[in-house]
Amino acid sequence: MAVYTEISDEALRAFLADYALGELVAFRGIAEGVENSNYALKTTAGDYILTLYEKRVEPRDLPWFLGLMRHLAARGLSCPLPVAARDGEALRMLCGRPAAICTFLPGVWPRRVRPGHCAPLGAALAELHASGTGFQETRPNGLGPAAWAPLLENCREGGDAVLPGLVAELDGHLSGILRDWPRDLPRGHIHADLFPDNVFFLGDADGAPRVSGIIDFYFACTDFLAYDLAICLNAWCFEQDFSFNVTKARAMTAAYQSLRPLSEAELAALPVLCRGAAIRFLLTRLYDWTHTPPGAMVTRKDPLEYLKRLRFHAASTDIHAYGL
């Protein structure tokens, strides 16, 4: 469910009057996604995506997100470009919500990740990191290591109802992660949520997939670049039985390093970065699982999927486990 705020025809036409986008042709809600209300918008000028930002997105962060997307698009990254209204502003209000129109990107996200997806993804991630250079404003990672202990504390009461002994196990994992967390790695602007449903692909003439777009920058922040790669290793390289696919990981990291070689410190830190990425998504899923009231129109995701990933990383003592 990804339409939390309904828009009337009258409200939409009044909103579009502030833009030079021609006449409205078609308009429909998009069912995918969980954070915001998204609509496919077609006008006589072309195809667009209209997003209404719901309560989980801080309005004060929106100018940074939209500014980063403009910066990345101007440097050739295939990502949504915020469309400015006639007054030059991209961020407006619609139906009591902050709202923006962005360009439409063609392609489909992979419902089943194949090894052939992972090299293009690794290269696209390196391109994203390179393209972010020069964007001067920074945004702290609000879901970085400083947030993990408070998240776990807020899940302490209901966590063991999800799995007996879960909270104690997470206490142990978290203390080790925070103890080993690196202090000084290359930093930059990261996507921080580059799951398969945020990457679009099209086929080349030979049928090989190529990245046609990266979307959903609303967790983007300034943090360790290699942490973004660790998030992708978690999101793209585990099979349905939660076994780790070294072939996928090797393809992803090799393509990434062909454009941005990892330093020795980054390589050494990769196992703990993967543990941190796993516990970050485990804890936010666990929080939603234990705090979402029955009947709420929110799609909860199973936190235990990331517990299985976390256990793999905890047993991986060096980078050989990742095909490096």
Residues 186 and 92 in one domain: no
Residues 188 and 282 in one domain: yes
Measure the CA–CA gap between 233 and 271, rounded to whole angstroms. 10
Q: Return the CATH number at 48.
A: 3.30.200.20
Residues 13 and 125 in one domain: no
Q: Tell me how many domains the chain contains.
A: 2
Query: So what's the pLDDT on residue 317?
Result: 82
**By three-state DSSP, how is residue 311 classified?**
helix
CB 233 within 8 Å of CB 249:
yes
pLDDT one digit per residue (tens) for the chain, 324 residues = 355 788 999 999 999 999 999 999 999 988 765 678 899 999 999 999 999 998 778 899 999 999 999 999 999 999 999 999 999 999 999 999 999 999 999 999 999 999 999 999 999 999 999 999 999 999 999 999 999 999 999 999 999 999 999 999 999 999 999 999 999 999 999 999 999 999 999 987 577 899 999 999 999 999 999 999 999 999 999 999 999 999 999 999 999 999 999 999 999 999 999 999 999 999 999 999 998 766 555 567 899 999 999 999 999 988 999 988
**Residue 49: what residue type?**
I
Residues 148 and 24 in one domain: no
Residues 65 and 125 in one domain: no
Range of the domain at 68: 9-103
Strand partners, 188: 223
Give the domain-ending residue among 47, 76, 103. 103
Measure the CA–CA gap between 285 and 297, rounded to whole angstroms. 15
47 inside domain? yes
CB 68 within 8 Å of CB 217:
yes
2 inside domain? no
Residues 224 and 89 in one domain: no
pTM of the predicted protein model: 0.93
Residues 83 and 143 in one domain: no
Residues 231 and 312 in one domain: yes
